[in-house]
């Protein structure tokens, strides 16, 4: 398994995941193709500015999952958030957990972020386990917005650069 930065060519991978009703069930339902394409283009611009890490997870030569760290906000505070998605045929193999572990290790090695937050849905047992396995602390339930939808989530946080609340990526 390896992590690489996404490119323009990875838009179809993102559309496959984010426009799929089953894949997006925990995130309020599928997103329109246009929205996914726009989000992908924005993530590439932000990556070039050092504000986002859109990473693809390659398993046996195939893009199997994604892990993205981006600048976000929560309760009026600028934060860094992490999210991940794994194609159905690759689920249940621990790929998301390993990919998150590698992304966090990369952030620690490069001292790019202070703390990273995750907001998996309360009922999303697998994603909450990914947080637990990777040393995140559960700060409790909260509401977050994703794609214009309000979602009930658990708020998890992990420190990747001790002593720093927010180290700018770049």
Residue 150 CA: distances (Å) to CA of 5, 14, 29, 86: 29, 21, 12, 22
Of 18, 20, 17, 11, nearest in space to 40 by CA: 11
Determine the CATH number of domain 2-159.
3.40.630.30
**What is the side-by-side strand order in the sheet with 62-74?**
2-5, 52-59, 62-74, 77-86, 115-118, 149-159, 137-146
**Interatomic CA distance for residues 7 and 44, integer angstroms:** 7
| Kind plus residue range of the DSSP H or E element containing 144 | strand 137-146
pLDDT at 9 over 80: yes
Domain limits, the chain: 2-159
3-class secondary structure, 130: helix
Rounded Cα distance, 91 and 87, in Å: 6
Model confidence at 163, in pLDDT bands (50, 70, 90)? low
Mean pLDDT (whole number) for 26-35: 88
The CA-CA-CA angle for residues 126, 53, 92, to 5°, reads: 20
Give the chain's radius of gyration (CA, Å). 15
Is residue 169's pLDDT more than 70?
Answer: no
Under the banding of pLDDT at 50, 70 and 90, the label for residue 168 is: very low
* 136-163 mean pLDDT: 89
> What are the CA-CA distances from residue 111 to residues 72, 106, 137, 160 (Å)?
18, 8, 20, 7
Give the mean model confidence (pLDDT) for residues 95-116: 93
110's enclosing H/E stretch is helix 95-110
Q: What percent of the chain clears pLDDT 90, i.e. is strictly above it? A: 75
């Amino acid at each position: 398994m390896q992590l690489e930065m996404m490119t323009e060519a990875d838009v179809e991978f993102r559309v496959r995941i984010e426009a799929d009703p089953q894949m997006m069930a925990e995130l309020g339902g599928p997103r329109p193709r246009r929205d996914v394409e726009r989000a992908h283009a924005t993530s590439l611009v932000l990556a070039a500015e050092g504000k986002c890490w859109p990473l693809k997870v390659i398993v046996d030569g195939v893009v199997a999952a994604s892990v993205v760290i981006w600048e976000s906000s929560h309760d009026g505070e600028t934060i860094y958030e992490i999210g991940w998605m794994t194609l159905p045929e690759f689920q249940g193999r621990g790929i998301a957990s390993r990919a998150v572990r590698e992304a966090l290790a990369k952030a620690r090695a490069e001292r790019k972020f202070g703390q990273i937050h995750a907001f998996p849905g309360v009922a999303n047992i697998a994603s909450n386990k990914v947080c637990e396995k990777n040393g995140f602390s559960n700060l409790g339930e909260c509401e977050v917005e994703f794609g214009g939808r309000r979602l009930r989530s658990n708020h998890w946080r992990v420190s990747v650069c001790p002593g720093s609340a927010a180290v700018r990526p770049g």
